[in-house]
């Protein structure tokens, strides 16, 4: 999917507050139908599915969700099982946990489960991802790269994502792990896409009008490479520091949003 259509996404930067005010998770519940929500939590990304699944079960139950199904799809055989796809199909929202985003795409990609998820998404069922689950939401995702490092050529690993949101790359735990440099590399390599870095306990709510709203306690950084005037990324040797001029960066806290088509900041506070 390469266009901003049928978007009903909550993309969380990881480490969302689970036991306090839980403002980000409350947005997730509201999107899925409030206390009537039927949420499926998919733990494919994590190596500790039982532990992670039970934590989210406790959290969502505390927040008033009565129907929660925790589903660990651990291999492609399970992902192609009709009964697994059927368990997901009745949900009013799907939540992808953190872990390793490559597990999500390599296990689910092209399977009956993924086709069910894509069909649900096209019909408006919210897809929610945190940490690795956030990175997997886009058509192209970051799978590896240096944190707390200058922007250097050939230090970023990317792979196809789930494709729920096109023309962007998403990074998570953004400010907390010093990931601006690697997001700059991604945008420098393809200035037509937007780089979106989401801080912990912060999320973007992406809607069908091709805009998003920032929610949570920290910030979202948007890197727009379309304005770049000079770039040396194609001329460098591997691991050399890149040079960019006239790059556009927006830093947006709660109360602000962004129009993905117009590439403009919008205020969302009344």
Please give the positions annotated as active site.
Answer: 131, 173, 200
Name which of 65, 111, 73, 58 is nearest 91 in CA terms: 65
Name which of 186, 82, 90, 77 is nearest 141 in CA terms: 186
Please tell me the distance from the alpha carbon of residue 80 to that of residue 114, in angstroms, as a whole number.
9
Q: Give the E-state strand segments of the chain in sequence order.
A: 9-12, 38-42, 67-71, 93-96, 127-130, 140-145, 156-160, 168-172, 194-198, 202-207, 211-216, 219-224, 230-231, 244-245, 248-253, 256-259, 264-267
37: left (phi over 0), alpha (psi -120 to 50) or beta: beta
Please tell me the distance from the alpha carbon of residue 172 to that of residue 45, in angstroms, as a whole number.
15
């Amino acid at each position: 999917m390469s266009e901003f259509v049928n978007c009903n996404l909550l993309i969380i930067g990881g480490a969302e507050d689970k036991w306090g005010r839980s403002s980000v998770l409350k947005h997730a519940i509201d999107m899925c139908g409030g206390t009537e929500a039927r949420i499926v939590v998919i733990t494919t990304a994590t190596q500790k599915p039982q532990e992670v699944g039970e934590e989210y079960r406790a959290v969502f139950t505390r927040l008033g969700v009565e129907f929660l199904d925790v589903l660990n799809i651990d291999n492609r055989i399970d992902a192609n099982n009709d009964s697994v796809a059927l368990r997901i199909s009745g949900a009013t929202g799907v939540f992808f946990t953190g872990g390793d985003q490559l597990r999500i795409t390599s296990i689910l990609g092209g399977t009956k489960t993924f086709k069910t998820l894509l069909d649900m998404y096209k019909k408006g069922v919210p897809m929610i991802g945190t940490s690795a689950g956030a990175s997997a939401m886009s058509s192209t995702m970051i799978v590896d790269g240096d944190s707390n490092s200058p922007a250097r050529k050939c230090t970023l690993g990317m792979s196809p994502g789930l494709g729920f949101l096109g023309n962007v790359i998403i990074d998570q735990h953004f400010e907390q792990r010093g990931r601006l440099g690697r997001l700059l590399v991604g945008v420098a390599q393809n200035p037509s896409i937007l780089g979106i870095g989401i801080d912990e306990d912060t999320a973007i709510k992406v809607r069908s009008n091709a805009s998003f709203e920032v929610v949570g306690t920290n910030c979202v950084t948007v890197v727009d490479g379309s304005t770049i005037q000079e770039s040396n990324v194609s001329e460098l040797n591997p691991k050399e520091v890149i040079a960019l001029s006239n790059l556009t960066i927006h830093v947006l806290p709660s109360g602000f949003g962004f129009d993905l088509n117009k590439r403009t900041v919008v205020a969302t506070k009344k």
